[in-house]
Amino acid sequence: MSGDDIYRRQRFGQKTGFGQFPALLVVDFVNGFHDPEVLGGGNIPDAVMATLPLLEFARNRAIPVIFTRIVYAPDGSDASLWCQKVPRLQDLTEEAPESQIVATLAPRPGEIVIRKTQASAFFGTHLAACLVAKKIDTLIVTGCTTSGCVRATVVDAMSLNYRTIVASDCVGDRALDPHRANLFDMGQKYSDLMRGAEIIAALDRRIAETVDSTEMA
């Protein structure tokens, strides 16, 4: 019996779908993770480009957009064991060019930027409070790396009972094997997987249905 058959038999991979109030979460698409000479590589540049239409759609449809960055103190006072595992993370300070969100996705006024020191965008941050304040029930996740900060964020989102959609072509990793393996695993246990274009089409339909029902009322 194949691995896929086991997952199907045990009824993994069910869909949670969209709620009423989605937000787009762009995880750690910063220069350092975009650059293969620093902390990047693999398909991360492709994922950045694939995120552009989804980001533009969210902005045009007034869907909240939230970015995350890894930011450490210049003196290393908040460095953790994670920095011991990956020492170059500690170079991602507030002013470091490597810590800035890539220019093609640069946040606009009014868009939230969450600074974090751990893999999950929820750990030790005010992300959950922001989502509660905006009444968000669905997170559309893009970013990098698939096996690291994206996965950690998605697991925490599910743990906090958010419907979570991973835009599968809008997440990237420095190596493709962990990218593919973690996409599969997240899709089976923690999130729905949809390509960016599919997400746009699905949200367009939902918005159109909402408008139609309002006009009929």
The residues assigned a catalytic role are 149
Contacts of 64 (CB under 8 A, 6+ apart): 23, 24, 58, 111, 112, 134, 136
Contacts of 148 (CB under 8 A, 6+ apart): 119, 173
Contacts of 118 (CB under 8 A, 6+ apart): 80, 82, 124, 152
Beta strands in 107-173 (DSSP E): 112-116, 138-144, 163-172
Four-point Cα dihedral 172, 13, 207, 168, nearest 10: 10
Contacts of 194 (CB under 8 A, 6+ apart): 165, 166, 167, 168, 202
Judge whether 44 and 34 are in contact, CB under 8 Å. yes
